[in-house]
Structure 1
Amino acid sequence: MKLDMTMPGDKKIKILIVEDSVVEARLLQKILANLGYSVVGIARSGEESILLAFKTRPDLILMDILLEGEQNGIEASRKIKKKLDVPIIFTSSLSDRETLARLEITESYGYILKPFDKKDIFVAIEIGFRRHEFEQQLEESEVKYSNLFERSMDAIFISDRDGVFIDVNEAMLKLFGYGREEMISLSLEKLASNPEELKEYDRVLIMDGFARDFEMCLRKKNGAEVHTLISANVIKSRTGKIKNYQGFVRDITAKKQAELEIELRIQELEIAMEEIEFLNRDLQQKINDLNKANRMISLSEEKYRRLVEGSTDIIFSLDNDWRFITANKATAYHLNINPESIKSKSLLDLIYDSDEEKAVSRKIIQEKLETFSRSKEPVSFKAEFKSPLIIEPRELQVKLEYLNIDGDNEILGKAFRVMDDTLLKYFIAEKQQFIIDNSLSTADEITQRITRNVAKYIGGNDFNMLRIALREIIINAIEHGNLNISFEDKTAAIMEDRYFQFLAERREDPRYNGKRVHIEYNVEPGMVSYLVRDEGEGFNPEFVLSNDPVQLNRDMMAHGRGIRLTMEFFDAIEYNEKGNEVVLKKYFTDNDEKIVN
């Protein structure tokens, strides 16, 4: 089948052939025509190739290395590249290292061995041409970035890993009064007026990977202090090492002076108000009552406007027992549940639990809710919700926070659809190591983290089973490995409705509170593997592996259920002799046999 290989705008890619063999030149011309390319000329020597290249202005050149005449293909390509920005792909029957090394010097965009193969030619041309296009776009982007950097009204800096400036723009020099050479030798540490502010800035930047509108007092060259807002990002290499820091500085000195003036005026006003209160307490009380009523009306109106009107997110409120007080109409859109009927339900009633999970999801969500109840700090987590009309669960991101209105606590919540990872299509491979504590919430979060990119290679039920089985193994490592919880201990705590209290006690126990779970994760186009190791005493996995699966499920053996789920899903399972470390492997083809050691 003849392919139509065109450039944007339906314009065919123009190719110049440089080949001293008439037979091979004609064969190559025929192959290119069959592939849909346009041949603009055929040169027999290096000298002729230079003239034809300047005359025809091709989009790509196929250059034979060994040519008749004074100039070979490599020498001719050097002269062409001096005047034309055109990708050159070399052709030859030579494949020795010396030839390849010479090609690298001339910035070759590819190499095709003779005899010619249609597929090799097509692949080399497409890769070479697309690479050339990408390099042109990259060069344009660098020019645009440079213009933005220098012309920006904000002071912009780039510093090395030690915080020393390696580049600053003109606005930065103007703000602090230094020359460029002076500024390059300085750092924020030299400019900072308050060491404690600098220490906190460094802590936020390293911990979060960025700092947004961080307020810091800096000093100009003339000694004058300037109040600033600094926003910066940590730039890392592909291996995760810090390369440099990039950020900008905004002068807010005028704003700070205005705030100080306002604060002085407020103090004067407070004194005046105290005098008025002393003269007429009754009038002040009426004013306070009226202000309180106005605040309550404004709060109610704002609450109604933000939480209810036209939102596609599920907006709801809960009492302290996690039962719905209010919910908007988005419950019908996401879960096919009438917002009026949901008021009789608990948030936990809507959590989806498959047969494989055995209420693990509910247990993890309940732990998150109890932590939220104690800390009163806002919390965010993912959860799968069930619907009366939809078989598959609906994954939503849930955010909860406490509101205190005149002494009464109310839980305000929002649930919305989890957005697709737009960068997943570019993902190829990843390798990570983690050491986690003994929290079930952490087990759930780390499972989400180390499986999300595997969705590139498997999906649907297989992806859900991967998360379920892996989470079971990690929870087993926490409960039965690090915390040394037996099946009988766990059963008794659940029956007494004190399981989370029991977990908290074990985590605080000096015998176990220092133990951690070690996880290694590696995903590549052919497979994914996980290593999970606890610091417990280990166990004999052969007892579970040799047991009848029906009996295991009936007996609710926690170790056995996790291992059994793992055996059913993963293609290879390898335990160490002690039984406290397991390696799990899943291949992305249907031809691999399952292995259990």
Structure 2
Amino acid sequence: MALVKLLIAEDDVVIAQNLALSLEELGYEVCKTVSSGEELLLEIHQCNPDLVILDITLEGKLDGIDTAAILAKSAQVPFIFMTALSDKQTIDRAKQTNPHAYLVKPFDIRTLQSSIEVAIHNAALRQQPETQPNNTAPTTEPADNFLLHNSLFVKVRNRLEKVALKEIIWAEAQDIYCNIKTQSHIYLVSQSLKNLEQRLPAKDFMRVHRSYIVRLTAIDAIEDNNILIGGKQIPIGNTHKESLLSRLQIL
């Protein structure tokens, strides 16, 4: 389990520090605060944030909108604008960069928290393919489970927690929900196993039963019609057994 990692670009040092403290109290990780667009572009790959909170008015030659335009092309990291400027010209400029959310100062921390969740949700939707297999329409991600880059963002109580795909061992259907098991946690998420299957990379994960998906590299043994993973027995469905065996190196 990892916290959602944020990078803050704000030219007022006091505001930046207070914002960072408030976000950390809410359970986010603030990896860096910067005061200029140039500094942000230098730090973005070092910090590798999940989201950038970006003031439009910044120190240096690049304002927040100029910085966001470069960020969108080079790093593809989702970002939120925050600004005291709400005039039409500024908003029209900002819209050209396709921000994932927009906040007008002053705002309270709960509004910011909601905007962070909306921004991650919007970023996840933008990464979905336009069509799903069999030419069906894309599936809308539930409002509290987002897949972005190589991580799944899961709503736990009042915050988002980041679960790296490489940490997932298996997933189990629970009616219209499913459990996701990692080395240290089990998360109950509000989407079906079928929807989750479409999000997980097929090279690493496989449906082995109508109620189970497993990470192939996590399999410890296969005994009769069961997979053993960390002491748990997972049944192998008759329709999946041949495909499973064909993907394993059997001597």
TM-score computed with the length of structure 1 as normaliser: 0.22
Letter in 2 for 1:101: D
Residue 32 (structure 1) aligns with: 23
Letter in 2 for 1:119: R
- Paired residues of 1:63 and 1:91 also in contact (CA < 8 A): yes
- Indicate whether 1:68 and 2:59 are aligned: yes
1:31 and 1:78 mapped to 2: Cα distance?
27
Query: Displacement of 1:135 after TM fit?
Result: 2.1
Higher helix content, 1 or 2 = 1
Secondary structure of 2:39's match? helix
The equivalences for 1:307-386 within 5 A come to: none
Secondary structure of 2:30's match? strand
Residue 7 (structure 2) aligns with: 16
Residue 73 (structure 2) aligns with: 82
Letter in 2 for 1:72: D
2:70 and 2:123 mapped to 1: Cα distance?
18
Secondary structure of 1:28's match? helix
Residue 37 (structure 2) aligns with: 46
Higher relative contact order by CA 8 Å / sep ≥ 6: 1 or 2? 2
Letter in 2 for 1:19: E
Letter in 2 for 1:16: L
Structure 2 regions of 5+ residues with no counterpart?
138-251
Out of 82, 99, 112, the position equivalent to 1:108 is: 99
Query: Displacement of 1:82 after TM fit?
Result: 1.2
- Indicate whether 1:58 and 2:49 are aligned: yes
Out of 90, 94, 100, the position equivalent to 2:85 is: 94
2:107 and 2:39 mapped to 1: Cα distance?
22
Letter in 1 for 2:22: I
Residue 560 (structure 1) aligns with: none
Secondary structure of 1:103's match? helix
Query: Displacement of 1:56 after TM fit?
Result: 1.0
Residue 120 (structure 1) aligns with: 111
Secondary structure of 2:11's match? coil
2:119 and 2:37 mapped to 1: Cα distance?
21
2:14 and 2:121 mapped to 1: Cα distance?
29
Query: Displacement of 1:72 after TM fit?
Result: 0.4
Letter in 1 for 2:69: R
Query: Displacement of 1:114 after TM fit?
Result: 1.9
2:49 and 2:125 mapped to 1: Cα distance?
18
Query: Displacement of 1:111 after TM fit?
Result: 1.2
Q: Summarize deviations over 1:157-191 as a string: whole Å, max 9, x none.
A: xxxxxxxxxxxxxxxxxxxxxxxxxxxxxxxxxxx
Higher strand content, 1 or 2 = 2
Query: Displacement of 1:113 after TM fit?
Result: 2.0
Letter in 2 for 1:14: K
The equivalences for 1:62-461 within 5 A come to: 62-136=53-127, 138-139=128-129, 142=131, 145=133
TM-score computed with the length of structure 2 as normaliser: 0.52
Query: Displacement of 1:105 after TM fit?
Result: 0.3
Query: Displacement of 1:64 after TM fit?
Result: 0.6
1:34 and 1:115 mapped to 2: Cα distance?
19
2:92 and 2:30 mapped to 1: Cα distance?
28
Secondary structure of 2:31's match? strand
Query: Displacement of 1:91 after TM fit?
Result: 0.9
Root-mean-square deviation (CA, aligned residues, Å) is 2.7
Letter in 2 for 1:67: L
Query: Displacement of 1:106 after TM fit?
Result: 0.3
Letter in 2 for 1:34: E
- Paired residues of 1:28 and 1:116 also in contact (CA < 8 A): no
Secondary structure of 1:91's match? strand
Query: Displacement of 1:55 after TM fit?
Result: 1.4
Instruction: Give the percent of matched residue pairs that are identical in Structure 1 and Structure 2.
Output: 35
Query: Displacement of 1:134 after TM fit?
Result: 2.2
2:19 and 2:104 mapped to 1: Cα distance?
12
- Paired residues of 1:17 and 1:43 also in contact (CA < 8 A): yes
1:112 and 1:35 mapped to 2: Cα distance?
18
1:131 and 1:51 mapped to 2: Cα distance?
25
The alignment covers a number of residue pairs equal to 141
1:53 and 1:111 mapped to 2: Cα distance?
20
Query: Displacement of 1:30 after TM fit?
Result: 1.2
